[in-house]
Amino acid sequence: GIQVEQSPPDLILQEGANSTLRCNFSDSVNNLQWFHQNPWGQLINLFYIPSGTKQNGRLSATTVATERYSLLYISSSQTTDSGVYFCAVERDSGAGSYQLTFGKGTKLSVIP
């Protein structure tokens, strides 16, 4: 099956710092999503980004599908950004069903 690798596995930032999280995947995919899981376990979709660049406030993401990677940028980090960031790729299993394969995540801790 498809492999999804995220780096770094752990990241500690001072509040206000910037960071870049990376997601590499081993095969062609239909799509890619970034999620944030807060300390209580809730997953929130950040970006749905098959290619190109999107921005939402202090967050932005870039996917280069031809080179099989995606980057998530966090600028001016805040303590509320803490949690685990997951990259998930969609493979088409046929018959219109899209299944997500998740990476193991990057655990971000933002300290005051």
Partner 1 sequence: DGGITQSPKYLFRKEGQNVTLSCEQNLNHDAMYWYRQDPGQGLRLIYYSQIVNDFQKGDIAEGYSVSREKKESFPLTVTSAQKNPTAFYLCASSAMWAEETQYFGPGTRLLVL
Shortest separation between residue 80's beta carbon and partner 1, angstroms: 18
3-state SS track over 86-104: EEEEEEECCCCCEEEEECC
Shortest separation between residue 89's beta carbon and partner 1, angstroms: 11
Rank residues 18 and 42 by Cβ distance to partner 1 and give the closer one: 42
Write the CB contacts of 64 (distance below 8 Å, at least 6 apart in sequence). 51, 70
Q: Name the DSSP letter for residue 65.
A: G
What residues numbered 80-109 form the site for partner 1, per CB under 8 A? 86, 88, 90, 95-105
Q: Which of 24, 31, 60, 62 binds partner 1 (CB under 8 A)?
A: 31
CA distance 19 to 3: 23
Residues that bind partner 1 (CB under 8 A): 1, 4, 30-31, 33, 35, 40-45, 48, 86, 88, 90, 95-105
